[in-house]
Structure 1
């Protein structure tokens, strides 16, 4: 039986990914700040991440879904703490998890890593400079790591959703949500289960000749 860990696993896309992987018979561990998670931790804490990975043991699949929106302000009004917190969770968290699981995947000659980027990482959303920057960094990390592992049996791909109906996006102001939906040709929010279906394919044997790629799931907003 393959074994997976999902970060940000107690709500939204992460929760949907846990349900999808478990439905396919994959032993899946949830990592989240919530005390209800299998491992309650902050992904930006590398020591906590390393302890959890060591305790779990064999990990075949990593889904990096933990993330925060960060400050919804013009760049010149963003304070140091808010900026750093957004990057700590959204990109350093991905780095911490990848660094912890990759050696074991390489040793076994098989692994799948899926990172959660965003359309904001491709296009930039106004008043979300920290979030947009962090998600662009996720794309860069994915491309780099995918190439580093290309002949190892470990595949690394990213997903770039547009606005998805999740608790995280519920924190956005109506004006921000209206702006993002207005750019989606389908004219609606995406669903977490739709993202989880794409995640599952990327985490499966069926995905065999794609690595370092970024997959659009944006209702037609960005197809590049």
Structure 2
């Protein structure tokens, strides 16, 4: 199901922030309590601890806000999660936690089936990562997102949007412009040609299949 694939995509990105859930002797005790609660899947308790930390005006307010949004997300309180992400971006625009929060926000929107808004956030975040020259890390994410856009939903998945082959093709081309290995380039070139074919642009598809055969046949 496309919803699950998109969710997996964005979740894979913002879940990197969970690597910071380890013990940190210098961290505020309330944040530590929240991390323990998150590991135990006690999300309401985590939110309570984080609210206490935020009320104390701690230096790690950006981290606390991100963790609060994460707890709300896993507790399936997506609207509340989105509000926290907005606060994080407004108050800590340049924080690393805010950048991770963008993917969290997109994941919450996917769960609400607000795909258009999620896509806009993803594209903005992807552009930022590209500007930071993190191309290898981003290439796989872009390809998976393109795969999701090029996948037709199952007949019983009535809420998912139809595939967008043109946008998928654009993302495949973006991935090809990065430093990716030959095997992955082989796969992505074929997928790109196939996407433009499914979009109905047969002339361009022929040219891209020829380019693919010239490079890999």
Q: Which has the higher strand share?
A: 1
TM range (shorter): 0.3 to 0.5
Q: TM-score, normalised by structure 2?
A: 0.34
Q: Which has the higher helix share?
A: 2
Task: Give the structure, 1 or 2, with the largest relative contact order (CA under 8 Å, sep 6 or more).
Answer: 1
Q: TM-score, normalised by structure 1?
A: 0.33
